Structure 1
Amino acid sequence: MFQSPAQDYVDKPLSLDDMCKLSRPYTYVLRSEISSWRAAIRKDALLILDCSATPYDGSIVMCHLGGQIAIKRLRLSPTPRLEDLDFPADFEQYDTSDESSRIVVKGVITHIINDARSGEFVDDCPVM
């Protein structure tokens, strides 16, 4: 009896737990309350937040800004700053001198899971 020639090409089953590292401590699944074209986040999308991941330039992070929880894009170059997801010109600089306005990054959004049944983004912008 001969073995199948395709036997070397058998993939292991896909697992969201493995792909999104959901079994790691400090990894959470959140539902988005915002919609962002540039970050490809729809309202009610599932966001995988890894609080143990190290953010790098361009990472989408969850942070505390003046007592509020916010999702922003982290820019490290040329100076560290946070940008709004849809308006990169509107940013806030890191300020460590004033404790009340200090920015605290809580975790990195590592994956975004959108419901494809809902169609396109509900926005007037014709280009993504």
Structure 2
Amino acid sequence: MGFPSPASDFVEGRIDLNKVCSCTSPSVRMFIAERYHGMHINSGTRLLVDSSIKPVDGNLLLTQVNGEYGVFRLVTILRHVLDSLIDKSEFIPFGDEFVDDEIVIEGVVTFIIYDAKNEVFDDTVVF
């Protein structure tokens, strides 16, 4: 028989993204960015997007504008716009609801997954 290994208390299971990111719902899908969208969302960055979540102020949204994918921040306090993450002077205004056929909201970005081995991060402290 023998004694159990003291290290057996520290054995961890494999990483399961379904558990970590709560992405078992069929409304969650992965989008792989093909270009820079701002906020370190570069080409190859993976975004988990949930189409069942109702967007609220401050959420990042995956959108299609004129057939082109983009990531925008939803702003509903003081003004109703989709703010660009790249250029703060660029935004898309809207009323109480999206009625423009050219804008399609694909869902709320819930997780951003980077490939850190190929990423260059700016570690400058900003106060």
When normalised by structure 1's length, the TM-score is 0.72
Aligned to 1:77: 77
C-alpha displacement of 1:50: 0.4
Question: Counterparts of 2:106 and 2:98 in 1: how far apart (Å)?
Answer: 19
1:1-128 equivalences under 5 Å are 14-37=15-38, 39-94=39-94, 99-101=100-102, 103-120=103-120
CA contact (8 A) 2:37 2:71 kept: no
Alpha-carbon spacing, 1:68–1:41, altered in 2? closer, same or farther (3 Å): closer
Q: What SS is found at the alignment partner of 1:33?
A: coil
Post-superposition Cα deviations, 1:4-35, rounded to whole Å, max 9, x if no partner, equal 9xx7x998865311222221121001101122
Runs of at least 4 residues of structure 1 off by over 3 A?
Answer: 9-14, 66-69, 95-101, 125-128
Q: How many residue pairs are counted as aligned between the two chains? A: 120
Q: What SS is found at the alignment partner of 2:43?
A: coil
Post-superposition Cα deviations, 1:70-102, rounded to whole Å, max 9, x if no partner, equal 32111111111011111122111015696445x
CA contact (8 A) 1:75 1:81 kept: yes
Structure 2: state its 5+ residue gaps. Answer: 1-5
When normalised by structure 2's length, the TM-score is 0.72
Give me the CA root mean square deviation: 3.2
